[in-house]
Amino acid sequence: MPISKIIDNWKNKVYDAVYWLEGEEPFYIDQAVEYAEHHLLTEAEKAFNLTIFYGKDADWTQVVNACKRYPVAAEKQVVILKEAQHMGQIEKLLSYVENPLRTTIFVVAHKDKNVDGRSAFAKVLKSKAIMVSTKKMYDNKLPEWVNTWIAERGFQIAPKAVQIIVDHIGNDLSRIQNELEKLIVNLGSRKKITEDDIEKYIGISKEYNAFEFQDAVAQKNFSKSIKMIQYFESNNKAAPIQLILPTLYAFFSKLYAVYGLGTSDERRIASEVGIAPFLVKNYTAATRHYSYGKVEHILLLIQEYNLKVIGINNGGNTDGDLLKELVIKIMDTAAK
């Protein structure tokens, strides 16, 4: 059951006794916990019927005893265990999960990892609780997620603006949402979000960012690439090397996949490689600068420089020096 369905059920006053929410994507877990904490009970009911524990500080006996209490002047009580992955002996909750109190709604947020699916505890959770395992969203799905989020709120966003956001922020849905909410508040009556808005309200330069740098390398534009690196050296937060290298690697990995398809059909490329339709021409243009064999070599180069960033065979170079070296080698590779 997706977490959106759980929240819909709660809105329709359909409740289960135990909800076990686990996995790598905290965004959706946080959505459910936030709703349970703020909307399952009225303000008057919360005083006696809402109990919140944090895994690091909680003892399993305290949690079970709270769950076994009966609600006060209400039909139900809510017990929430946040950061459950940090609680010792969490499997001791098994006896309660096997026989929960129907007047208690017990919500467990177990982030970053899943319980061992082979354990007796996991088997009980699967049979007795509403158990949801979340996964990190694939990077190529982020633009679609941003577009949907924006559209649901009655706004539109330029495709390039979407790409700038996801390339800069990365796979952090909570942070993306926070930045978009901040942006929308500042739009006033306008409904269309542009690259200028991204620069003004989120602080990502529309000219000097990871997406534009990737594009300069893709076009084999050496002077523009070096100019951008010089800007990044003076503005550390604009596009740190830890952001740029994954962006470049993702680009050349997709370019490698484009070669593998062996087609010039833009719709097929967009669908099968996971490229935004407006970007397909960038990839087909890059094939004129980088051959299939050269792309293989570039991917190895990027991996090599990723190791240098963390100090392996670095030679004392700055991040800016490493980026310049990498660009020279990429474009030299392309020239051969």
CATH number of the domain within which 73 lies: 3.40.50.300
Domain boundary among 134, 156, 188: 134
* Structural domain range at position 290: 210-335
More confident: 298 or 312: 298
Say if residue 145 is in the same domain as residue 188.
yes
Q: What is the largest CA-CA distance in the chain?
A: 78
Output the domain CATH number for residue 245. Answer: 1.20.272.10
What is the structure's pLDDT at 132? 94
Say if residue 113 is in the same domain as residue 130.
yes
Say if residue 17 is in the same domain as residue 88.
yes
Say if residue 152 is in the same domain as residue 195.
yes
Say if residue 181 is in the same domain as residue 214.
no
Say if residue 298 is in the same domain as residue 176.
no
Domain boundary among 180, 202, 224: 202
Name the residue type at position 160.
Answer: K
Backbone angles phi, psi at 117, to 5 degrees: -65, -15
Identify the three-state secondary structure at position 202.
helix
**pLDDT tens profile 182-235:** 999 999 889 999 999 999 999 999 899 999 999 999 999 999 999 999 999 998
- List strands edge to edge, sheet with 50-54: 50-54, 77-82, 104-111, 18-23, 130-134
**pLDDT tens profile 129-149:** 999 999 998 888 899 999 999
**pLDDT tens profile 24-72:** 999 999 999 999 999 999 999 999 999 999 999 999 999 999 999 999 9
**pLDDT tens profile 112-129:** 888 888 889 999 999 999
Say if residue 92 is in the same domain as residue 36.
yes
Say if residue 126 is in the same domain as residue 156.
no
Domain count, the chain: 3
| pTM score above 0.85 | no
Contact indicator for 32, 107 with CB cutoff of 8 Å: yes
Torsion angle defined by CA atoms of residues 49, 7, 111 and 238, in that order, rounded to the nearest 10 degrees: -120
Domain boundary among 202, 231, 249: 202
Q: Please name which of 263, 264, 268, 326 lies closest in space to residue 297, comparing C-alpha atoms.
A: 326
**pLDDT tens profile 257-289:** 999 998 889 999 999 998 888 899 999 999 999
What is the structure's pLDDT at 50? 97
Q: In this model, does residue 300 exceed pLDDT 80?
A: yes
Say if residue 151 is in the same domain as residue 119.
no
Say if residue 66 is in the same domain as residue 112.
yes
- Could you tell me which residues come within 8 angstroms of residue 291 by beta carbon, excluding any fewer than 6 positions away? none
Sorting pLDDT into bands at 50, 70 and 90, what band is 335?
low
Say if residue 255 is in the same domain as residue 287.
yes
- Could you tell me which residues come within 8 angstroms of residue 93 by beta carbon, excluding any fewer than 6 positions away? 60, 63, 64, 108, 121
Say if residue 89 is in the same domain as residue 189.
no
